[in-house]
Chain A
């Protein structure tokens, strides 16, 4: 997993900000600590400085009262030679160096504008006669503490036998000492280095720890989240973010995973809908196409029926004439003569025309059915009675299996009889005088609806595929000329459609054909 390492990243920014704050805070702390330490050390040095000049004053006090100048000088020299003491000078009230550890300074008179004088004598205002100190840079690489202590006029001074100082004088002179701060500076430097080292080490450790914590707690999970989002955006809805934590980021990852799975579910649902919709549209389209074809077919049959009715009326009258006069003519020729046979042909052909017209009229009748609750078994029985004794059926085995519990249907019985007769006659024709016809009635369920079904099965030649789609077309026939009108199945189809039923075929060339006629079962009403 590649985690982005950049100062522009959130972690980078956080680390940078916290690091800067840490460094600034540490520096301030360091500065404060350093300054405080330095102040403490200087104060203790100053205290020591005052003690030192007090010590000088006290050491020379007796010699001063007894006016032993040499002793004073020797004492000052001895003290001034001590380690860390750079110079000790005793001034009189006129600013003259009376005694000094460095003999060269003895006798020198300080100008009132000299820095030392100005510590007490300001240009205007009262004279300050209190002890004072200051620190200045020494000639070497360390600082120097300069202490100035006034020598006040005390009773034993102005009452001394020398009478050198009158009682009114408040300050008789001053002791000044320059003390080296070399050790102090060294100590301060060392402490500064130590504190800096501590602060830097502390900052580094804290920053490092913060880095690791932020990296693990924020940066890595955020990178995982953003990578996950990119994957999801590119379509990988199976991607899961593995952050098993109880904090807000863990919660965010869980929410993201939940959102992702919901998204996947929604996408799948949408796809399912899409597929189902496509399928449904296809089904509906097919249904519409089927209905359209049926409508066209029905319309074709209906218009053919209307035409047939007109034609029947027009043609039956001339046929009446042909038949009547044929018969009249027939009587004029003795039986067996050629003329007699010729006239018989005329009458036969006129009757054939009449049969064609009757077939055509089936259409007209199919469109006007008088429906009532009908038992298919009964209609089938009466149809069978009509054909049973016909010569065509003598050598055909007729098997009938009727379901006694067959549902009733709403139908026009004579039309149904016409359909059944058509079916039986067609089956017999297909059998060509041999084989068997099996008629079965049964109740069936189709698409959730109840139907009464009649199956007409023959062991005839079967129907060729190319004929199958034309079989219900009017005037389509495979029977020899003069045998079929090509209207039987067309009329049958029209009648069954008119009854809300359907007719289907199962056929195999060489084995036979089954016609299934299904009519909606009549709902039992109590």
Chain B
């Protein structure tokens, strides 16, 4: 029994791989998408508790993905993963309903802490 289903949307293979190598041993079930449209398609096909999405991606950026998820699957939590964070984008993300944001490069511990925080709140 997994701790939860997580969808990682990031155009960078290494980021997706880092997430899976950090979170799978922690007991989470992970799915990967290379971009926004692909992630949304996967969301349509299956349900996820948490989406970790990159902010800056080709075709569709993280903010747009976040907006769409919150519109269609409001119960799914979203954590924004960003290469560089500014106050504006952080404020915008939180306003749109993001649970939290995490800055690259993150350590496995920081990622685990953020994700477990999401599930702790969800499971309350």
Contact = CB atoms under 8 A, between A and B. Distances in A.
Contacts of A325: 18, 21
B74 interface: no
Q: Is the interface of A mostly helix, strand, loop or mixed?
A: helix
Contact of A317 (B15, B21, B107): B15
Interface size class of B (residues with CB under 8 A): 20 to 34
Most interface-central of A313, A324, A354 (chain B CB within 10 A): A324
Nearest to A317: B12
A364 B88 CA distance: 12
B119 interface: no
Contact of B87 (A321, A327, A354, A370): A370
Contacts of B87: 370, 414
Contact of B15 (A321, A354, A365, A370): A321
Interface string A319-335: 11111110110000000
Contacts of A414: 87
A325 B21 CA distance: 8
Contacts of B22: 324, 328
Given A320-B14, A324-B18, A361 B105 contact: no
Contacts of B109: 327
Most interface-central of B15, B83, B103 (chain A CB within 10 A): B83
B83 A323 contact: no
B15 A320 contact: yes
Given A364-B84, A368-B88, A316 B18 contact: no
27 contacts: A312-B84, A313-B56, A316-B103, A316-B104, A316-B105, A317-B10, A317-B12, A317-B15, A318-B12, A319-B105, A320-B18, A323-B18, A323-B105, A323-B106, A323-B107, A323-B108, A324-B21, A324-B106, A324-B107, A325-B18, A327-B109, A328-B21, A328-B22, A364-B84, A368-B88, A370-B87, A370-B88
Given A320-B12, A320-B18, A327-B108, 11 more contacts: A313-B56, A316-B84, A316-B103, A319-B104, A323-B106, A324-B106, A325-B18, A325-B21, A327-B109, A364-B84, A370-B87
Interface of B: 10, 12, 14-15, 17-18, 21-22, 56, 83-84, 86-88, 103-109, 111
